Structure 1
Amino acid sequence: MVFPGLDRRDSAATPGSVPGAAAAPTVLLLHAHPDDETLATGGLMARLVADGARVVLVTGTRGERGEVVPGPLKHLEGTPELAATRVFELAAAMRELGVIDHRFLGEVDARAEGLAPRSYLDSGMQWAPSGMAEAAADAPADALSLAPFDEVVADVLAVVAELRPQVIVSYDERGGYGHPDHVRMHDAAVAAVAAVAALGSVAALALVAAEAAAAVGAAVAAVPPFALPNETRIDLYTVIPDSAEAEDTDIVVPLGPYRDAKFRALAAHRTQLSVEGDEIVLSGGQRHAVSDAEVFRLYAGSEDSEPGHPAAESP
């Protein structure tokens, strides 16, 4: 398996499963907008599916404020139809990657018990003087980055309680390039893993998620993250940007035989990018070569839970 933690099958067992039966290892990916998952983790997702893992994608928003590439779909930019189109594009991309379980945060299957379903909206972004992205000045009131953090965490915990994943994958602490929705999903991932640590059991999360925001916030604040026994630990891996300095313990996942699947999934996101050879072209005309590998790093603090996670380059 790609990640060492996927060898740990116990936390994936679900209520009612056959005693002693080996459950498929589960990986939960937390992304912010449609297309983020393919750009950052498309090869990983296809590889995990081929390896027999259960792969579940939770997307925070529908990318309502995304810019649209020049061409026949440009008229969708800034309209309500863009969100519906991006939902369709995401479904097409998931088919190319073989992922059959995708959810939007706040919907019934990714919502804390007792809370009415909701949609988290794209916060939009603007470039800060630092060169990093920041929230748009006119971010809507229902934006993901402005939603109560404890509510976002409670929704993530509801999914974690159901799936009992061994591994969660999300962005690094900067959200890659600073987009506030990326940062919010990273922070929610960290808080969810910390809540598991606080409770000592993934099964107990169902109770916490149902009791709503204040209880979740207290649980997260009560203990250091990742102070978790091995049998209930969830490993958090973050996406490492191409520009980041490599570390010996990074998990390098070559696209290899999954390269074509990733490119087909990229092409499905027609409003957001164009595929030209080995490059993608974004709405502003920026060209980016698609790397031959995706790189992930065990989140700082997780190492203390299980020393000796080896560096790996998955064949």
Structure 2
Amino acid sequence: MNQPVSDPISEPLRFSAEHRWQRAHDAELRLMAVHAHPDDESSKGAATLARYSDEGVGVLVVSCTGGERGDILNKKFVDAEVDMPSLRLREMARAAEILGVAHLWLGYQDSGYHEGDPDTWELPPDCFGALPIDAEVETLVRAIRQFRPHVMTTYDENGGYPHPDHIRCHEISVAAFEAAGDPDRFPDAGEPWTPQKLYYNGGFSAKRMTAINDAVKEATGVGPFDEWVARMKENNRPDRSDRITTRIPIGDFFDRRDQALLAHETQIDPDSHWFAVPREIEAHVWGTDDYELAQSRVPVTLPEDDMFAGIREPARALDGSDR
């Protein structure tokens, strides 16, 4: 697995990326956040990543695909010659620098967005969602065995929302979490390592979005998420609120989260509803990033406010070998 350095990235960012990689790899506690595309890390749990990185935890974001088939979603973005793969490499580099995290491309091609029943999707050949899953699991297992995370995060069984890359991201993350510590699985992928906890991102629950929207509307007269909340009700999408086990206080990291999101300038309109929420209101109403503890190999007491609860002291013995 190569260090996360790429030619389109400027020299200052390259140096910073190498420094962050080494710092994350050498940290006593380590967190791996597995995402489908660049920008997912900034819209789902970014403040958590910034907080833990600032506390000295080694944080590695893994992007399964390069987001090559993404559209220009920011109408204010103007570029006469759009080279989407290179643009998204540079955007991800800037976001990782802002969050203070290391980054790794897993190396697969974006599957593109598809609507309707998954059985009707016609995926491009050789994309992430269409390739044999065992080879993809092995690639992630190799990354786990090199970085040796104590905690992993990914999406739930629905992918957070029904995108083929998000669903496949869930599938390989769960499979790799289970296989990485087994010496009989993928013996050529490095020395076995057993992560201790696996979390699902839970940030876009209907309860959270409604609470923030109602508070902003009461204060300003305008509900920035009115359409979103209405769509949630119309689609009758299951609300994950009742599955939340872990709430990480991140009110002091909203600015870093927002700046990381804005770094993905092809995807994010700086005047969108994302940024219409006064942060002091958000911090008061919902100042946490929320997660579901999906698997734990250490004793836990729920609810939690720390992903490393039950790990911090045992980690010293667990990581006693030279790396």
2-side partners of 1:193 and 1:209: how far apart? Answer: 14
1:71 alignment partner, SS class = coil
Match of 1:242 in 2: 205
Pair 1:70 & 2:75 matched: yes
1:125 alignment partner, SS class = coil
Ranges in structure 2 where 5+ consecutive residues have no aligned partner: 1-25, 207-238, 277-281, 307-323
Pair 1:36 & 2:40 matched: yes
Ranges in structure 1 where 5+ consecutive residues have no aligned partner: 1-21, 107-119, 211-230, 282-288
- CA deviations over 1:249-308 (Å, ceiling 9, x no partner): 611123311110001111111100113386259xxxxxxx99743211111xx25x4343
Match of 2:86 in 1: 84
Q: Choose which of 36, 56, 59 in structure 2 pairs with 1:52.
A: 56
| Counterpart residue identity of residue 235, structure 1 | K
Match of 2:97 in 1: 95
Detail structure 1 runs of 4+ shifted over 6 Å in the superposition. none
2:252 alignment partner, SS class = helix
Contact kept in structure 2, 1:263 and 1:275, CA below 8 Å: no
Match of 2:116 in 1: 128
Match of 2:155 in 1: 171
Contact kept in structure 2, 1:172 and 1:239, CA below 8 Å: yes
Matches within 5 A, 1:230-269: 232-240=194-202, 241-243=204-206, 244-247=239-242, 250-269=245-264
1-side partners of 2:243 and 2:173: how far apart? Answer: 24
Matches within 5 A, 1:106-121: 106=107, 120-121=108-109
Deviation of 1:205 after TM superposition, in Å, equals 6.7
Q: Which segment drifts farther, 231-240 or 176-185?
A: 231-240
Deviation of 1:86 after TM superposition, in Å, equals 0.9
Match of 1:105 in 2: 106
- CA deviations over 1:5-61 (Å, ceiling 9, x no partner): xxxxxxxxxxxxxxxxx9520111111111000000211110110111000111011
- CA deviations over 1:91-112 (Å, ceiling 9, x no partner): 111111111x211103xxxxxx
Deviation of 1:168 after TM superposition, in Å, equals 0.8
2-side partners of 1:74 and 1:23: how far apart? Answer: 39
2-side partners of 1:234 and 1:95: how far apart? Answer: 27
- Length-normalised TM-score, structure 2: 0.66
2:269 alignment partner, SS class = strand
Deviation of 1:142 after TM superposition, in Å, equals 1.9
Match of 2:221 in 1: none
Matches within 5 A, 1:180-191: 180-191=164-175
Contact kept in structure 2, 1:63 and 1:122, CA below 8 Å: yes
Deviation of 1:206 after TM superposition, in Å, equals 7.2
2:247 alignment partner, SS class = strand
Pair 1:313 & 2:313 matched: no
Deviation of 1:209 after TM superposition, in Å, equals 2.2
2-side partners of 1:157 and 1:192: how far apart? Answer: 5
Q: Compute the RMSD of aligned alpha carbons.
A: 3.0
2-side partners of 1:174 and 1:148: how far apart? Answer: 19
1:59 alignment partner, SS class = strand
For the structure 1 residues 55 and 134, does the alpha-carbon distance in structure 2 shift closer, same or farther, using more than 3 Å as the test? farther
Deviation of 1:62 after TM superposition, in Å, equals 1.1
The alignment covers a number of residue pairs equal to 240
- CA deviations over 1:209-260 (Å, ceiling 9, x no partner): 27xxxxxxxxxxxxxxxxxxxx944311110132334347611123311110
For the structure 1 residues 25 and 157, does the alpha-carbon distance in structure 2 shift closer, same or farther, using more than 3 Å as the test? same
Match of 2:144 in 1: 160
Deviation of 1:208 after TM superposition, in Å, equals 3.9
1-side partners of 2:65 and 2:143: how far apart? Answer: 16
- Length-normalised TM-score, structure 1: 0.68
1-side partners of 2:29 and 2:185: how far apart? Answer: 19
